[in-house]
Chains A and B, each alone.
Chain A
Amino acid sequence: GQNIDQPTEMTATEGAIVQINCTYQTSGFNGLFWYQQHAGEAPTFLSYNVLDGLEEKGRFSSFLSRSKGYSYLLLKELQMKDSASYLCAVRTYNFNKFYFGSGTKLNVKP
């Protein structure tokens, strides 16, 4: 089966940097995805890693180490609108199925 772990909740200050970690154990790994979900809304795609290393996309970066089964999402220059849940998801080669962690609720305070 698949096992994906991420912290339940984090709090950070506006303007700061926050790192949200995700560890996974999976068979047939075919990519790691991060999604953002505001309360009452659908998840939206943030980033994708399939090879080891860092992918940067504006204020958001995502890192992957396949040998360690580890990823993180880095958010810089935090804004109040970044308050949301962040979902770590692993895609597998088996029909391209996605498996999700429970999500990390990020609270950004002034």
Chain B
Amino acid sequence: DVKVTQSSRYLVKRTGEKVFLECVQDMDHENMFWYRQDPGLGLRLIYFSYDVKMKEKGDIPEGYSVSREKKERFSLILESASTNQTSMYLCASSLQGPTTGELFFGEGSRLTVL
């Protein structure tokens, strides 16, 4: 079974702190994604990556950056956390190519910024 692991389930940070959210997948997937999920807004794409060292902005990249140095690992970075970044963050991965290509999600990281 595909496993997507997020490093922290719950985090509490202060405004202005730098925050790292780590995600690792174990099935050699090319694509990796970071979403945030907020009530009434659904899942919104922050950044995604389709290859090592490649990254593309999603719909709400402001205030975030990402890093993909290895195929299995995709990190989300909040350079200076703000209260409006309090949210559930979901990492996902998928295969490229002629497959169903569904997303496999991690358990999520609930971030609270005080």
Contacts and interface: CB of A to CB of B under 8 A. Distances in A.
A100 B101 contact: no
Given A41-B107, A45-B103, A48-B102, A98 B42 contact: no
Contacts of A101: 42
Contacts of A42: 90, 105-108
Interface string B24-44: 000000010101000011111
Interface in A32-60: 33, 35, 41-45, 48
How many residues of B sit at the interface, in one of the four size bands? 20 to 34
A90 to B, nearest CB: 12
Contacts of B84: none
B56 interface: yes
Interface residues of A, number: 22
Contact of A100 (B43, B48, B96, B102): B43
Contacts of B90: 42-43
Contacts of B102: 33, 45, 48
Contact of B103 (A8, A41, A98, A103): A98
A63 to B, nearest CB: 17
Interface in A44-98: 44-45, 48, 87, 89, 91, 95-98
Given A43-B105, A45-B103, 5 more contacts: A41-B108, A42-B90, A89-B103, A98-B45, A101-B42
